[in-house]
């Protein structure tokens, strides 16, 4: 059986099994915010997400002695979370729309169609009608711009919000996001694409 657990994780796992509180604190600080972001895909409120994450940590502690290292510790923790969150979502009678994880079923362009010339335009079909204009650097650097950015991310549909947060805030790789959320590579990219396009649009509307 292939061991995929890194030396760092192995040390962490041993420390947890030995009851090292500092190791647990480290793990919590490493993953708690990402766990909350993923939980929010499944459950409707932040409070419920926090409960699901707390349950997940208990399940991690209860299961750590049986963890066999067939996946990374990170993947294992996020699988526990997904199972807990799904169970909770069912209990809360909230069913996810199928499309949440299969984004290509819905057409959703990066930009509104009226930003481009019509497809039957005699000279420049599909070229810019309303092109983007350069952003003033000083507006971008203002603290308020980052508040707008955070608002735009909060306003995204759950799965898009989780993908962009994990990729662009938490710095996860595409593969890690696919594993944690059970997404295909293509769907991960589509969700990231839509999320980034909407956040760019929000910045454009704000700085112009």
Site residues (vs other proteins, CB under 8 A): 19, 21, 24-25, 28-29, 32-34, 36, 50, 54, 57-58, 61-62, 109-111, 115-116, 125-128, 131-135, 140, 145-146, 149-150, 153, 164, 168-171, 174, 185, 189, 192-193, 196-197, 199-200, 203-204
Answer yes or no: are the C-beta atoms of 40 and 49 closer than 8 Å.
yes
What is the closest distance, in whole angstroms, from the C-beta atom of residue 149 to other proteins in the complex? Answer: 6
By C-beta, is 58 or 106 nearer to other proteins? 58
What is the closest distance, in whole angstroms, from the C-beta atom of residue 36 to other proteins in the complex? Answer: 7
By C-beta, is 68 or 114 nearer to other proteins? 114
Instruction: Spell 76-104 as b/e; 16+ CB within 10 A means b.
Output: bbbebbbebbeebbeeeeeeeeeeebebe
Nearest to 163 by CA among 144, 186, 140: 186
By C-beta, is 7 or 171 nearer to other proteins? 171
What is the closest distance, in whole angstroms, from the C-beta atom of residue 2 to other proteins in the complex? Answer: 26
Tell me how far apart the alpha carbons of residues 20 and 23 are, in angstroms, rounded to a whole number.
5
Instruction: Spell 136-154 as b/e; 16+ CB within 10 A means b.
Output: eeeeeeeeebeebbeebbe
């Amino acid at each position: 059986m292939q061991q995929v657990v890194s030396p760092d994780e192995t040390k962490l796992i041993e420390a947890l099994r030995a009851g090292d509180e500092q190791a647990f604190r480290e793990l919590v600080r490493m993953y708690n915010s990402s766990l909350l972001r993923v939980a929010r895909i499944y459950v409707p409120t932040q409070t419920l997400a926090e409960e699901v994450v707390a349950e997940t940590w208990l399940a991690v502690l209860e299961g750590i002695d049986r963890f066999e290292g067939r996946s990374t510790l990170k993947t294992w923790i996020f699988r526990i979370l997904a199972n807990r969150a799904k169970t909770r979502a069912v209990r809360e009678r909230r069913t996810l729309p199928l499309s949440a994880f299969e984004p290509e079923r819905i057409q959703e362009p990066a930009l509104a169609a009226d930003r481009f010339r019509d497809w039957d335009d005699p000279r420049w079909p599909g070229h810019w009608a309303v092109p983007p204009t350069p952003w003033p650097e000083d507006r971008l650097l203002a603290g308020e711009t980052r508040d707008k950015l955070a608002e735009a991310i909060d306003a995204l549909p759950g799965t898009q919000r989780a993908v962009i947060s994990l990729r662009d805030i938490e710095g996860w790789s595409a593969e890690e996001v696919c594993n944690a959320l059970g997404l295909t590579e293509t769907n991960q990219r589509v969700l990231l694409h839509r999320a980034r396009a909407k956040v760019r649009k929000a910045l454009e509307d704000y700085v112009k």
